Amino acid sequence: MYALFSGDHANTANVEEHLDGNLCRCTGYRPIWDAARALCDDAEDALLAPLSDGEGGLVRGPCGVPCRECPERNECEMECNLDDKAKEKKAEVGGDVGKEKKEEGGGGAKVKVCTSTSLSKVREFRSSLEDASGKGQSWRMQPDDMFPSSLSDPSSSVFEETSKPLAVVDDSRSHPGSKGGTWFGPKTLREMLRLLADGVCKIVAGNTEVGIEAKFKDAHYARLVHPSPSIGELNLVDVAEDGSALRIGACAPLSDIQETCDGLASGSAAAAVKGADKIAAPIRDMLRWFASTQIRNAACLGGNLATASPISDMNPLLAALGAELVVSSLSDGSDEVRRRRVPVSTFFKSYRTVDLQPNELIERVDVPVPREGALEYCSAFKQARRREDDISIVTSGMRIVLETDSSAAGYTVKDLVLAFGGMAPTTILPPTAASSMLDKPFEEATFVEGGKALMEELKLPEDVPGGQAQYRATLAASFLRKFYLQTAEKLAADIALQKEGGKDMPAAPSVSEEDKSGGRTFLSEGKPSSRGVQKYPAPRAAVGLEEHRTDGKMGTTKLGDELDIPQVAMAALAAAKAKGKETAGKHEHPEVGKPSPHASAPLHCTGEALYTDDVPLPPSTLHAALVLATKCNVTLLSLDPSPAFAIPGVAGVYCHGDLVELGGDNKMGPIKSDESVFLSFGDKVGFVGQVLGICVGETLEAAQRGAKAVAAEYGEEEGETVVSIEQAIAAGSFYDFARHTLEHGDVESALADVPPAAPDGSRLVTVNGSFRCGGQEHFYLETNSTLAVPSESGSDLTVYCSTQSPTKTQMYCASAAGMQASRVVVRMKRMGGGFGGKETRSVFASAAASVAAVISNRPVRLTLDRDVDMSITGGRHSFLANYRASAAVSTSENSNSIKLQALDVQLYSNGGTAFDLSGPVMDRALFHVDGCYRWPNFRAVGVPCKTAQAPHTAFRGFGGPQGIAVCEHVVDHLAVACGVSGDELRRSNMYRVGESLPFGMRIGEEYSGRWNVPGMWDRLHRELDVAERRRGIEEFNEKNTYVKRGLSFVPTKFGIAFTAKFMNQGGALVHLYTDGTVLVTHGGTEMGQGLHTKVCQIAAQAFDIPLSDVYINDTSTDKIANSIPTAASMSTDMYGMATLDACRQILRRIEPIRVKLAKEGGQDPQELKLKEVAQAAHFELIDLSAHGFFALDNSRCGFDWDKTKPEDCPDNAPQNSWKGHPFNYFTQGVACAEVEVDVLTGDHRTVAVDLLVDVGSSVNPAIDVGQVEGAFIQGMGWSTLEELVYSDEDHTWVRPKGKLFTAGPGTYKIPAFNDVPESFNVTLLEDAENPFAVHSSKAVGEPPFFLGTSVFYALKDAVRAARMCRKKEHGSDADEEKYFEMRMPATSERVRMFCADDIAIDSIAIGRGGSGDSKEEAVNSFEPKGSH
């Protein structure tokens, strides 16, 4: 970004185009958008421009001048100007306290609300930027000014030296772990060709392919050539002098090609020639979405062609455009350059094999320019799992030449070229389908039949590598349909131009207005930006749990011990009202409630924040790599390390035997000790990637090569390898000891074959079905990393690591290394993300590194590569649910009520090969599978399955989102069956205050806090005018055949507390220094969520000092012992209270000193500076350090699944209430999402999202809004984009069995910038105090995650509209909606195939061959494959 803003590049369009290579879903992206835009000169205009749905925009009056630029702005009384001034005023509210208002869904009181918008932040920042730079822009030139002039000045000696040919002999092969090689840097084409003539060379232009080969395929090349940019023949991008062809040098960066083609397509290029726009536009469009800007700046077309990827974007397009390659070599025995031409269409011979000799070089690509006036049209198409920075599933280039038919009444197809990637081992040009359309009328019927022929010709086997056989065939035919619609539109435009010139031509084929939407493609459309509004209550420090002890004090005892639950709650509410909901006492520095920046934000932005891998290495540090199993479901017989020791630099290979010899304990596991540090010989390999040992070396390269070289001997496969949930159910492979049941009411009677009469004579509707949601990779930006440093001859150990569980890491590092825990110190500065993935699954890596460090008595650093981390650390549990449910529909003329009656659901999760946290994850799913709705009769049974996947673990939401997703699916099913809207069914069945949950807790203030969901639902429904929005969407869908919109409205409640009672505790250590500053250490860890910032705010508020005077250095087990993992969104609740406890202990000690000093000086005690008091207290021998502690009230946490009903339990007690009170309170929220779907491809965009979230009285609303946005995007990713693929029965093309295929960013896709909602608005609920947590706040990390699934349900709504549209077209009853199961995630494949149009149905039928199913039966039984 820094370089991008130099010179003339500072415009929003440029920025939006260049953010495509950045992945950071936990931020929600919107803040990055706002920050980047703030540096753009046109930021305000861009934010005032209309969104893609037409909303917003710069208003222009009849005079044509933008109202905001009009010199008579203040005087003009035109309606357009008055409306725009009102809109501008509304947008300018940003950052200021707004008017007092009373909102339903809050507490009902009048509150002040702050509003911040993308526009207000841009204006505020630009104002400060101008002030700081003296209203100049000199900072923009810094990148250019800093560049050494000697490298850019042709007259300098340095420039002259760099212009000479270069050869670098890498003799580092003698160094440990290096593979050496010689690099050449030719400066002319002849020098380049001479090198090729002298022997085999690997040409490296951008290193986008060779780098991957070297890293992942361990490829080694003895001779590598990097062509200089000064070789003009290889770097040109221009139109030939005679205008016959666009010439593209083989080494020209793709970004240069894109820029030139953009100029040709728009007609702005100086060298623009007529007809060039027809080929330049599709090339530009394809390159815009090729990989990312960073890659396009380095990659070249020659490499793309030579590597011959079967899923290349550009190769099919070049083939369709009739491009030719100019291939060069030297004539035998001379320096004469010999050239030959090869059509791109014949260049690809077989998989990764091309028509190119070792001594030949692709010099350039010539793309012929259509002759002027020719009816020739070209288009590019692609569809990937994610729009930007992704490899295509199917890509295509198409070119057609039309001519008037013999009757001069229409047009015929004279020539047609169809080229595809992703449909064969090479780029393929299907001849049969294309020839079948030649000389046929240019009309829809021709292309419909051509599409069927295409699907027949391109039919793929079920086990085709890459999978998605039917989808890929569907895409090919869909692209052809789009091509027809695009060409018809272009032809009509050309005819109109010809008529203007006086030439009469036949009319173009008629395309209805509804069908024109099918010609749209994201390739040619602008990349949508994101903007948003954030609203939150005015900053204030509210009274919370800290004020509610009977003795009025805070100590180290558990708070609230003396009071029962109702008294605690009512005392809290009374105290809040009595104190005006403000913390007692005057504060000079009120910090709680302020939207303060994240404490590490400046370091994050500048790249100076230190993570574990950045810790300076001590002398003699060894680097480590894990030895991993390459098979599963086999016995490990032996390991032979000798091949590793043959590699220079390998210092040691350690496995189970070495650990035992050290005296360590090999067993580990957070709940059940069913895992090992290193697998023992004779034990069964549980999953591909299981840790067998660790290799250490003088360099990372040596360690990694050594780890791969260790030879493992395995036994034979032992029976069937169980990978999926379905296989586990069939095999009875369960963690049965963790099977739990929640039940209340009489489910069996309610769902009997002949159920009892529905209440009030209503009609009883019963449904049954299944639902699946996939797993999810954590994809934290920092992979697992550990630096283990032994000292005192290996008797002590300091472990720096990236973990959410310092104490757990300490205990297992100590046990594995045969040491006492007191001799191991774990230090954690900050994590680059965790999301639950580093709660338990980081420990094995730290333990392995610790063993190696102690044995070698040298520091050892182990940082996992991304693919290794993803393969072996597990992720979110995938779920399968089988259910029965019923609802009662009123048949009375005076009532249209519908009430849920019963839910009976069986939940299965894929736990992997070891138990880890699968039991508690399933328990939380059971606690949340009721959603926000009352089911009078309820039964949920859950059990984790044991499979050959890596052990799955905690992930943001911890099973809660999976449970809620099942519930919402069932509600959707019932709504369809009952013939009512999902909104109506949801709202009419929400819990009411006083009603009990399936596990016995009651809804209500004194039990679980204020129940805000119904009021929040009504408020957001009203503010967004959802009824009108839905009518608008219906109207849009009526007018567009191939683009559909959908809208969803979903609520959530998320229980806050560790369900394991003992984990609801935390400690903190606070030091007050004599300069009045404070150092806090607590048991929680910082992973970007802002925990340290919030704790500092609480401490600053307590001492009444500026936030800048409070600091947290790190989390360390020698300061806070026996800490609990930072998880369950409980950290601010626990460590905020513990820190406040410690602060108040110190304050109580120094209070007499404060009073004494004030009396002596005749001052108000509150006016004394903390520095003065601290110095005086120190001289009075008063301890200025304190350890604080907090534990949640015993009666507000924990649940005993096996506890039976006590004899003295009241008869009217809610069922299961005697088993415990699993949650302290609920964080709540509602979401509305609107999406737009391309029916022909499954591509979608999220038009708008509005969130209303109850986070209590926020300690830091800026951080909380960020957490809401990040959680939402992560939840959206889980439910729409992020798909894990294993080698299982659905993916037999992946080998070996059980292997994770999506083990890296190349195959696993998280949301990127282009996936963010275009309008993304977040409101934190006002007047939502919570008496059960510090300063009346609420947990925020996990609860908003489920709201991201609102995009999934909106997609389902759009798909439903597409299916109804087809029914209408075929004369079916369009009002008769049928249920369909759409599994999570709603990938482009699922969306496209479930739209179930004629193309998809034909593709499914063709793919099934002679199955005998009718087309309708085929599509109704079709389900895209997935790993669960």
Active site positions, annotated: 1342
Cα gap 178→699, rounded to integer Å: 9
Reported in sequence order, the residue ranges of 256-391 that DSSP labels E, i.e. its strands, are: 324-330, 337-343, 348-350, 353-354, 361-368, 376-384
Concatenating the DSSP letter of every residue in 135-195 gives: T--GGGGHHHHHS-HHHH-TTSHHHHHHTS-EEEEE-GGGSTT---EEEEE-SSHHHHHHH
| Sole residue written with tokens 């809050």 | 106
| CA 885 to chain centroid | 33
Reported in sequence order, the residue ranges of 757-897 that DSSP labels E, i.e. its strands, are: 763-773, 785-791, 796-801, 824-828, 860-863, 879-889
Cα gap 1117→758, rounded to integer Å: 60
Count CB atoms within 10 A of the CB of residue 1416.
11
Q: Which two tokens stand for residue 1304?
A: 């890296």
Cα gap 70→50, rounded to integer Å: 19
SS3 category, 665: coil
Q: What is the layout of strands, in order, in the sheet containing 898-912?
A: 740-744, 937-946, 898-912, 879-889, 763-773
Spatial contact of 398 and 480, defined as CB atoms under 8 Å apart: yes
SS3 category, 1164: coil
Spatial contact of 1053 and 1013, defined as CB atoms under 8 Å apart: yes
SS (H, E, C) 1378-1395: CCCCCCECCCHHHHHHHC
Cα gap 638→683, rounded to integer Å: 10
Cα gap 548→552, rounded to integer Å: 7
| CA 1281 to chain centroid | 8
The phi-psi region of residue 373 (left if phi > 0; otherwise alpha if psi is between -120 and 50; otherwise beta) is left
Of the candidates 836, 866, 857, the one whose C-alpha atom is nearest the C-alpha of residue 959 is 836
Q: Which two tokens stand for residue 1197?
A: 């946490």
Cα gap 560→1132, rounded to integer Å: 18
Q: Which two tokens stand for residue 289?
A: 């979405």
Half-sphere exposure of 801 (CA within 13 A, CB side): 36
Cα gap 531→1409, rounded to integer Å: 48
Cα gap 567→570, rounded to integer Å: 5
List C-alpha distances in Å: 962 to 877, 928, 942, 990, 1226. 8, 8, 12, 19, 17
Spatial contact of 1126 and 1066, defined as CB atoms under 8 Å apart: no
Concatenating the DSSP letter of every residue in 15-44 gives: HHHH-TT---GGGTSHHHHHHHHTTSTTHH
In total, the chain counts a number of residues equal to 1428
Q: Which residues partner with 1220 through β-bridges?
A: 1199
Q: Which two tokens stand for residue 988?
A: 């009419």
List C-alpha distances in Å: 147 to 3, 152, 258. 11, 8, 25
| CA 465 to chain centroid | 25
Q: Which residues partner with 343 through β-bridges?
A: 324
Locate all alpha helices (DSSP H) within 1316-1376, ordered by sequence: 1350-1369
